[in-house]
Amino acid sequence: MADNAFERPAAPGCRPLRVVLLAYDGMNLLDLAGPLQALTTANRGVAAGAPARYETIVASGAGGTVLTTAGLPVVTTAVSSLTALPIDTLIVPGGCWGEDYEVSVALRDFIAARVASVRRLCSVCTGAFLLAAAGQLDGRRVATHWAWLDKLKDRHPTIDIDADSIFIRDGALWTSAGVSSGIDLTLALIEDDFGPRVAIDAARQMVVFMRRAGGQSQFSVPLVAQSRDHGFAELHGWMAANLASDLSVARLAARAAMAPRTFARTYAAKVGRTPAKTVELMRLETACRALEETDLPLKTVADKAGYADEQQLRRAFQRHMGTNPATHRARFSGQL
């Protein structure tokens, strides 16, 4: 894939970036409408007389009307009409009628034919199946909707599927988890093109978070921990409510009425991670929410989430998110 087929615009006054969103019968409406609205919203605020930041085209194999799973028809242009047009970014929404994704041959062939000339290739949700069918995901790190992970892996075993992230950037390839995460991905594209201020303004207009980081989990840690039938649901609920308490293996084992070594071994076997790892993820999620939703001082956030001090909180952010608490808060408050 050619990362530099098109130069990133030096300033908002450059010609619009052409983004083609592929459509087909059975796609999820929000997988298409979310990215499309984000791009359209990013066009607001340009100087009078200046060109739009983005030109968007919704295209399908044969053109005409396609029907989304929500029952809403969408009018499209045929991909054959795009032959002579340069394309900056290609986005593939997800969705299907049943429990098995059926690949559109026309769209698969279009992607394969145009991929060498686009600057970015993106998918939302099960749109990853279409990119994989076009031969674009082999050996790549990819995100898709959590409910379709196993099916994608079975069909394309060479893909490195991230079961958790909201979206992933692997060079010029961008893939996202599902449904609303297409908006997160598109806001990241906008930031990549025009900087954080434009992306933040678009997020504010859309009344969505700016920005859930790509590495942020698709899931709430306590919710997932309690929903899986491994015998520790009550313990997980207690852990989530007592993050500032002593959550050592010995304390958790006593709560579970087990010997510490037996508890640690049984927990890891059933849950798939150590008790300490679950505690760490729960504390990080709590800290993230406090930073995003409150103006509490950093020390208070650390205390609330169960960290010994601010420095321990900073180390956790750097280790898991590649950033620091202050930067995380600034991004969500629109100060970046």
Contacts for 78-86 with beta carbons within 8 Å, 24 or more apart? 79/22, 79/106, 79/107, 79/110, 82/20, 82/57, 82/110, 82/114, 85/18, 85/57, 86/6, 86/18, 86/117
pLDDT 10s digits, 14-53: 789 999 999 999 999 999 999 999 999 999 978 888 899 9
- Please tell me whether the peptide bond between 211 and the residue prior to it is cis, using omega within 30 degrees of 0: yes
Residuewise pLDDT in 10s, the chain (336 residues): 333 333 344 344 478 999 999 999 999 999 999 999 999 999 997 888 889 999 999 999 999 999 999 999 999 999 999 999 999 999 999 999 988 899 999 999 999 999 999 999 999 999 999 999 999 999 999 999 888 989 999 999 999 998 778 889 999 999 998 778 899 899 889 989 998 788 878 887 887 754 455 444 544 454 455 445 467 878 888 898 899 999 999 999 999 999 999 999 999 988 888 999 999 988 988 898 888 778 899 999 999 999 999 999 999 998 887 888 988 888 766 555
Q: Which residue has 């300490």 as its token pair?
A: 276
Contact residues for 170 (Cβ-Cβ < 8 A; gap 6+) = 140, 141, 142
Residue 123 Ramachandran class (φ > 0 left, ψ -120 to 50 alpha, else beta): beta
Torsion of CA 234, 237, 241, 245, to 10 degrees: 60
Closest to 262 measured CA to CA, from 273, 272, 250, 271: 250
Model-level pTM greater than 0.95?
no
Q: Please, which residues have CB within 8 angstroms of residue 3's CB and are 6 or more apart in sequence?
A: 119, 171, 172
**Residue 12: per-residue pLDDT:** 44
At residue 10, the pLDDT reads 38
pLDDT of 200 reads 78
Contacts of 257 (CB under 8 A, 6+ apart): none
> Are β-strands 54-60 and 17-22 bridged in parallel, bridged antiparallel, or unpaired?
parallel
Tally of CA atoms within 13 A in the half-sphere of 156 that contains its CB? 24
